[in-house]
Structure 1
Amino acid sequence: MTHPDQGTADEVEDGEKPANTGARAILDQMGGVSGLIYSSLPVVVFVPVSTTAGLLPAIFAALGVAALVLLWRLFRRDSLQPALSGFMGVGISALIAYLVGASKGYFLLGIWSSLIWAAVFALSVLIRRPIVGYVWGWINDHGRGWRQVRRAVLAFDIATLVWVAVFASRFVVQHRLYDADETGWLGVARIAMGWPLTGIAAIVTYFAIRYAQRAVHAQHAATADRHEQADERAADEPA
């Protein structure tokens, strides 16, 4: 019987980084799991303060929480780029809310960013260059060789499309709530569709990468066998 961790062990022995490394790389670009949770804190503060005290106090409250999160992440020596990006995101969202003159404006950056990411990920699948595959190839120094393995491309297509669904659903739901002036529900949707959906997409990405790794390994093994057989036939031929 094959041990459930044998696939990962084989990948490490072959110089292949585990599948969860690829999923983690995508998460890291979003600040990691902790970054996704931290990004919810300013929203948790902004919505109730805007309801009870108005827009300006809510903006200052969100910026204050974002500053505390930034200082905490710097104290923990977390990666600087996600920490600064999170603080700047809150700052830009607060500025948009101020310019719009309504609390719901705080969510515009996230709404349209979701649409842009959905479009980018979807386009990568349409042109047969799924983003998840390129992230995995970059991490493992495989270049573009995986594109010659149809099963690997299919697995990466599926994983990328899951991310498309995550981003697209965020845009559709939150855009409708924005049009309906439902600021409170916008805050709920922002949190509920944040790290929980990202976690689901990361799990799908993990299994897709494992499947793709097996497909690439099988393709390499088959190619090596064909070359070995060709060499044996060449050696057996009379001079």
Structure 2
Amino acid sequence: PEQLVVAVVASIGAAAIFTVARLIQRQPPSAALGGLIAVGVAGALVLFTGRAEDNFIPGFITNVAYGSAFLISALVGWSLIGLAVGFLMDDGIAWRADKRKRRAFFWLAIMWAALFFLRLGVQLPMWFADVDVQTLGTVKLVMGIPLFAPLVAVTWLVVRATYPRKSS
């Protein structure tokens, strides 16, 4: 129990330092504070249950929520990727009238849903099987940025191809 308290305090302390650093860099406060809140919730859960492996539960919930949101948005024809890109490219919802854009944004949303469900499909059975915390943490790290970053790059490349630069 004492080790859990030290670990939780250390993780919340580190998250607080990163949050302050992000705020100093004038990054959006919602992103900075969101991470701190997530670490705080996970830490509180660990202290409440006394099980270090319960730190992973908020991540499972997040993967279900994001995976479901991306999947449902694609299946109903209102891809979250399309909505975000339409807003960012000052296109609104006009992308929905373009079959090429609709198809691209459909498949991007499916790919994002697959990423979140893949994480869940690998990590949740490990959690239920009581795999040690270090192994589960390693798997979570490997399935984090190393999978997320290439998908961000693919998304960017598809969006760039879908919205070519306008000649001046």
TM-score, normalised to structure 2, is 0.90
CA distance in 2, matches of 1:78, 1:157: 30
Mapping 1:26-105, distance limit 5 Å: 54-105=3-54
Aligned length: 164
Deviation, 1:74, is 2.6
Deviation of 1:81 after TM superposition, in Å, equals: 1.6
**Mind listing any 5+ residue stretches in structure 1 that lack a counterpart?**
1-49, 218-239
Question: Which of 81, 90, 93 pairs up with 1:141?
Answer: 90
Please state if 1:206 is matched with 2:148.
no
- CA shift, 1:168, in A, is 0.7
Q: TM-score, normalised by structure 1?
A: 0.64
Once the two structures are superposed, the pairs formed by residues 111-190 of structure 1 within 5 Å of their partners are: 111-182=60-131, 183-190=133-140
Is it true that 1:197 corresponds to 2:150 in the alignment? no
Which of 1 and 2 has greater Rg? 1
The alignment-based identity, stated in percent, is 28
Cα root mean square deviation, aligned: 1.8
Query: Which runs of no fewer than 5 residues in structure 2 stay unpaired?
Result: none
Match of 1:77, SS state, is coil
1:205 Cα offset (Å): 0.7
Q: Using CA pairs under 8 Å that are at least 6 residues apart, name the structure with larger relative contact order, 1 or 2.
A: 1
Paired AA for residue 184 in structure 1:
Q
| C-alpha distance after superposition, 1:153-178 (max 9, x if no partner) | 11111111111111111111111121
- For 2:26 and 2:159, the matched residues in 1 are separated by 30
1:55-85 per-residue CA deviation (whole Å, 9 max, x = no partner) reads 2221111112112212222333332221111
For residue 107 of structure 1, what is the aligned residue in structure 2?
56
Deviations 1:12-63 (A, max 9, x none): xxxxxxxxxxxxxxxxxxxxxxxxxxxxxxxxxxxxxx9xx73222111111
The whole-number CA distance in structure 1 between the counterparts of 2:121 and 2:33 is: 28
Runs of 4+ displaced beyond 3 Å: none
